């Protein structure tokens, strides 16, 4: 409604402005014209009509009520045509255009006819009748052509606008339907227990579901952040290098089918995964997009392990009574006072017992759990570089500098998985407690007594002297870390020391407030034969 009122004001103001400008020029060049009563009446009518335009609440009146304004303007122009030698009838262009823009063709023709009548009634009738008639016809034809042209253009403009509005509504409805369908598809995908993720040829994550976020420790808005989970080639084996992770292989177009991958999540739990990839868009179409399907089969493996353990227990417990039965049957068969029929029956019992004993032994062989793998040669340099690669995005985002120097190979005997935990804890603490722009350094080498040495230093906040002796206590966190709101549980250093000691190594922490912290880890040169519990 307000738009309609503003449009009425605009049309009237344009017309009034033109009249005022002409009145000023008449005053300057031909002031005697203003002495004509009809001219004065025409100018007064324009002023009155303009005041009425601003005073009347047009939004409360019918649409056709507005037609009064252009007709009053036609009358005002007709009154001013009484001025000799000044062709003010040209001003009828404004009200006729107004009528043609917003009203039907009968109103346009009526306005033209009203203009012709005003010209006949009020204009100066000097000259021959033929001249007067020619003047009237010229005005009528000109205004009629103008009105028809404007009316046709207005109709086409309205038709085009309505078409655009309908198309816009159709597009909006289509967009709403597409958005609704997208939400439904997302809800269905998120409800699946299978982890799904879509990546392109540049390694960008295009979409993931809730199962993948929960499995790899990602949130809905942190797709660019590094995952808190680490993939391994086997349970408690070696960490998979960044170039061979699931996403890296899917990005490279590698086709996987139920491939086994072990995942150690941020909460410290192992997951056995079956991974398959599907190509959605091939490189021939301009972009490689792959769908990665990850099925967590940990519960299935654990259930199978429980069944195996139960079978082993049952088989083991059966051996004792079977041994007793067979032994006593053998003793009875050694007696010479038994009737032949009893001897035959005892031999049947002995044969059946031996067959059952063989079945139990065979069952034990198939259900026996493989022994824990002994310590293997592990290159600490490779462990450090793999851990550094996983923390690289966080280090880069904090504008920190990581420097790894020293021995290119530092081989010890140990558990690669556990050693990776140690390095991860040390680097995680260094990154968390080092401010932006700080420096983290890792040094690897051999000591004088041929011990493998790993030193991690940082330029972080440091640890107070009275708190330094408690860093290995479970759940201990420094006061500065608590006040600063740094995330953590206080378990990392205790876990690291337990692993180092299981490898017959040592760990030492040195720190100063405002200077930084240095953690030194040493491992013996000889091979550790014990298996980590």
pLDDT of residue 454: 94
189 pLDDT more than 90 = no
Structure-block tokens of residue 477: 């966190």
3-class DSSP state of 526: coil
**The whole model's pTM is what?**
0.47
- Which tops the pLDDT comparison, 490 or 497? 497
State residue 3's pLDDT score. Answer: 62
> If you write DSSP's letter for every residue of 267-318 in order, what string do you get?
TS-EEEEEEEEEEEE-GGGT--EEEEEEEE-HHHHHHHHHHHHHHHHHHHHH
Using the predicted structure, report yes or no on whether residue 371 has a pLDDT greater than 50: no
432-459 pLDDT, tens digit per residue, is 888 888 999 999 999 888 899 999 999 9
Q: Classify strands 259-264 and 401-406 as parallel, antiparallel or unpaired.
A: unpaired
Tens-place pLDDT, residues 208-266: 888 888 888 777 665 555 667 888 888 878 888 888 888 888 888 888 888 888 888 87
Give the pLDDT band of residue 531 (cuts 50, 70, 90). Answer: very low
**pLDDT confidence bin for 480, thresholds 50/70/90:** low
Rounded to whole angstroms, the Cα distance separating 120 from 81 reads: 10
| pLDDT for residue 491 | 72
For residue 197, is pLDDT > 70? yes
Average pLDDT over residues 350-361: 68
Mean pLDDT of all residues in 174-201: 83
- pLDDT exceeds 70 at position 521: yes
What pLDDT was estimated at residue 533?
37
Going by DSSP bridges, is the β-strand pair 401-406/439-446 parallel, antiparallel, or unpaired? parallel
Residue 295 has which token pair?
Answer: 């099925």
Average pLDDT value for residue range 22-29 = 86
């Amino acid at each position: 409604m307000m738009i309609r009122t503003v449009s009425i004001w605009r049309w009237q103001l344009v017309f009034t402005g033109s009249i005022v400008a002409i009145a000023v020029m008449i005053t300057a060049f031909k002031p005697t014209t203003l002495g004509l009563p009809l001219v004065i009446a025409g100018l007064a009518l324009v002023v009155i009509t303009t005041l009425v335009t601003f005073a009347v609440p047009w939004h409360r009146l019918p649409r056709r009520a507005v037609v009064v304004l252009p007709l009053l303007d036609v009358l005002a122009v007709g009154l001013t045509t009484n001025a000799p030698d000044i062709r003010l009838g040209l001003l009828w262009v404004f009200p006729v255009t107004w009528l043609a823009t917003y009203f039907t063709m009968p109103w346009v023709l009526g306005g033209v006819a009203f203009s012709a009548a005003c010209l006949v009634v009020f204009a100066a009738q000097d000259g021959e009748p033929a001249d007067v008639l020619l003047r009237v016809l010229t005005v009528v034809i000109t205004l009629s052509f103008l009105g028809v042209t404007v009316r046709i253009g207005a109709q086409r403009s309205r038709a085009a606008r309505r078409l655009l509005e309908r198309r816009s509504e159709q597009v909006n409805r289509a967009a709403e339907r597409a958005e609704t369908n997208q939400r439904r598809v997302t809800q269905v995908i998120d409800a699946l227990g299978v982890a799904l993720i879509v990546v392109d040829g540049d390694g960008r994550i295009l979409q993931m579901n809730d199962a993948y976020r929960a499995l790899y420790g990602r949130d809905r808005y942190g797709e660019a952040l590094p995952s808190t989970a680490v993939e391994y080639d086997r349970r408690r084996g070696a960490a998979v290098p960044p170039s061979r992770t699931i996403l890296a292989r899917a990005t490279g177009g590698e086709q996987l089918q139920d491939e086994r991958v072990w995942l150690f999540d941020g909460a410290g739990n192992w997951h056995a995964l079956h991974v398959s990839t599907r190509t959605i868009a091939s490189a021939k179409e301009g972009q490689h997009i792959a769908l990665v399907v990850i099925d967590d089969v940990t519960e299935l493996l654990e259930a199978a392990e429980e069944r195996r353990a139960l079978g082993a227990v049952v088989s083991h417990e059966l051996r004792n009574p079977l041994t007793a039965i067979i032994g006593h049957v053998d003793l009875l068969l050694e007696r010479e006072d038994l009737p032949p029929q009893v001897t035959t029956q005892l031999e049947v019992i002995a044969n059946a017992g031996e067959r059952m004993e063989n079945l139990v032994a065979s069952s034990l062989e198939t259900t026996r759990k493989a022994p824990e793998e002994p310590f293997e040669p592990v290159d600490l340099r490779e462990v450090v570089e793999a851990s550094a690669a996983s923390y690289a995005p966080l280090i880069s985002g904090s504008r920190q500098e990581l420097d790894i120097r020293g021995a290119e190979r530092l081989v010890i005997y140990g558990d690669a998985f556990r050693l990776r935990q140690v390095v991860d804890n040390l680097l995680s603490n260094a990154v968390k407690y080092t401010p932006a722009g700080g420096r983290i350094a890792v040094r690897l080498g051999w000591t004088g007594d041929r011990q493998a040495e790993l030193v991690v230093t940082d330029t972080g906040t440091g640890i107070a002297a009275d708190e330094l002796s408690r860093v290995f206590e479970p759940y201990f966190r420094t006061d500065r870390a608590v006040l600063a709101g740094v995330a953590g549980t206080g378990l990392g250093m205790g876990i690291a020391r337990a692993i180092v000691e299981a490898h017959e190594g040592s760990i030492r922490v040195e720190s100063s407030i405002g200077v930084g912290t240095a953690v030194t880890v040493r491992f013996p040169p000889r091979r550790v034969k014990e298996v980590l519990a």
